[in-house]
Structure 1
Amino acid sequence: MQVVEVQTTTPPPPTPNVDGKEGYWMNIDDSDSPNKFIQYVDEASKQDQIIAHTRYSTRQLNLNFGQKVMDVGCGAGKDLSRLESMVESQGQVFGMDISREMVECAKSRMSHLPNVTVFCGDAASIPIENNYFDAIRCERLLQHVPSPDQVISEMVRVTKSGGRIVVTDVDWSSTTISIPKSIEKINRIILNEVIFNAHPTIGIQLKGRMKKNPQIENIELFAQCLYTDSLNMADEFLWLGERGKMAVSQGLISEEEYNLWRETIEQMEEEGSFVFTMNIFTVSGSKK
């Protein structure tokens, strides 16, 4: 099978052009510093809770020696070597991402594995023939794309009958932080009303969206609560501070309200009472 690489131009962001990392994930190649996205993914992937969830999701692929698997939205290739170790040298691993910067990085990292192919393409129109893969996955991709159902349909199309489809994503609306009553309203606006990606509640919707596809059966759901008591961790990897700044830029709260909110949670961090939680979901199934 020969991969037909799609010569795409990166589409515009599916959400308003806001001052946060999340709004630019579909437009990485046009950003001032594509490397910051690669560095972010690398650092986030080192977190124990993300590692544990990714291990679960890749096990759900039920891969065996010699099989063919694809990672859609593979980014800089953080999971490709793990997939290769599961199918071994006689198997085939494909990674696809819409960002050429990500793809070039992944190619470089996987250059020592001849059975790993990385290419640029659009998840809504995967340039692979029908019924090719034994398993396919995507992780934290659907929150960014214009049409998640179309991506799921494409993943199903290129998977063999009996093959596995595994999708992981977060529910940003599930975010909670420990806060006093005095800033509850400001906090609610920051966590629930800021626009920063196309589908912030996609995680909780995954099972329903997979159920809607008539070609997927044996659907299983796994949920995990991500948590940290470090404000720095919440800022760096879960974009808490960015969401507060975006609330100001989107006119949802005033600068004074933001400062009050920020000072309060920084004080909680000093006192040791800060807690952040958010839910992540993996939904898996088999193609009929």
Structure 2
Amino acid sequence: MTSTVFETATPDPIAYLDRVAATDLGRSYKRRMLDELNIRPGQTVLDLGCGPGTDLASLAEAGTGTGTVIGVDRDPAAVEAARERTADRHTVTVLLGDIHDLPLPDHAADRARTDRVLQHVADPAQALREFHRVLRPGGRLVMGEPDWDTLAVDHPDNDLSRAYTRYVADKVVRNARIGRQLPRLAADAGFAVPAVVPITSVFRDAREADKILGLERTTQRAVAAGHLTEEGAGRWLDHLSTGPFLAAVTFYIVVAES
């Protein structure tokens, strides 16, 4: 079942986040999120689930160096990396904390963003209530999340494609359908939702897709869990690694206002 095209080892989490940010897709959707934030000089901006600080510098630059940027993450290693990367930026602070219970006072910020974080958290609704609490009235929150139930991978055997997507959506990602749910959850938390921007990410190169999707690693897990047979997994990976490749998934950027 092993191919020579796809990765088999799980990448380091920080390296993986850096890798995604460096892709054309990553740069494109992050620019759109930054545009939607509409940061003004002097504002306080939160990056909730900031990871290793991938986006902290661009947030600081958008505020023309006159505002404050606060990153929050629960992973000590990511927080340490983010602090090292922003050590020369006096307007950036990175805090260790849980987005379900942010270490910030009420109405502390003008802008907030979260990028591919809510798909993994225990309670997205509680996180959104916290986001609403720490934003000032009239503040803006921009969230970006995939909807893994929309994952479509072309293969001559449609049943294999459906089984793979069902496994990803039902077993691999904790909140796999969060992209479509965000507008409702944001409204329930007290936000107005003026804009929802769907972005269809299309992959036509198998190796590039694998850098984000982890095709072989996920296939191996699906076999171990009984969602694919060894024979089916072999046919699946053989075609993906040798035939014309196409995969797509919908990513939602949701703009919310407090």
TM-score normalized with structure 2 length: 0.92
Matched, 1:51 2:22: no
Partner Cα distance (2:182, 2:9) in 1: 24
Which of these residues, 26, 36, 54, is aligned with residue 60 of structure 1?
A: 36
The answer for unaligned runs of 5 or more in structure 2 is: 1-7
| TM-fit CA distance, 1:243 | 2.1
1:58-112 Cα distance to aligned partner (Å, 9 max, x none): 2212211111010000001111001101113321000011110011001000000
* Correspondence list, 1:201-240, <5 A: 201-213=177-189, 215-240=190-215
| TM-fit CA distance, 1:251 | 1.3
State whether residues 191 and 243 of structure 1, in contact with CA within 8 Å, keep that contact through their aligned partners in structure 2. no
| TM-fit CA distance, 1:277 | 0.6
| TM-fit CA distance, 1:130 | 0.2
| TM-fit CA distance, 1:218 | 4.3
Runs of 4+ in 1 over 3 A off after TM superposition: none
| TM-fit CA distance, 1:55 | 1.0
**Number of aligned positions between the proteins:** 249
Which of these residues, 38, 55, 77, is aligned with residue 53 of structure 2?
A: 77
1:223-270 Cα distance to aligned partner (Å, 9 max, x none): 1111111111121112222221111111112212111111122231xx
1:143-183 Cα distance to aligned partner (Å, 9 max, x none): 00010011111011000000001111001111111211xx2
Matched, 1:286 2:240: no
AA partner of residue 223 (structure 2): V
Aligned twin of 1:96: 72
Partner Cα distance (2:179, 2:216) in 1: 21
Identical amino acids, percent of aligned pairs: 28
SS of structure 1 residue aligned to 2:90: coil
Partner Cα distance (2:119, 2:163) in 1: 20
SS of structure 2 residue aligned to 1:123: coil
Aligned twin of 2:93: 117
Q: Which moved more, 1:132-141 or 1:229-238?
A: 229-238
Matched, 1:156 2:132: yes
Aligned twin of 1:30: none
Which of these residues, 123, 126, 149, is aligned with residue 173 of structure 1?
A: 149
Which of these residues, 228, 243, 255, is aligned with residue 230 of structure 2?
A: 255
AA partner of residue 192 (structure 2): E
Instruction: Quickly say closer, same or farther: Cα 1:88–1:63, change in 2 above 3 A.
Output: same
Partner Cα distance (2:210, 2:35) in 1: 30
1:86-141 Cα distance to aligned partner (Å, 9 max, x none): 11332100001111001100100000001100011101000100001001110000
1:181-209 Cα distance to aligned partner (Å, 9 max, x none): xx221221111124112111111211121
Matched, 1:190 2:164: yes
Alignment root-mean-square deviation, CA: 1.6
Which of these residues, 79, 103, 109, is aligned with residue 127 of structure 1?
A: 103
Aligned twin of 2:219: 244
TM-score normalized with structure 1 length: 0.83
AA partner of residue 228 (structure 1): F
Q: Which moved more, 1:104-113 or 1:197-206?
A: 197-206
The answer for unaligned runs of 5 or more in structure 1 is: 1-18, 22-34
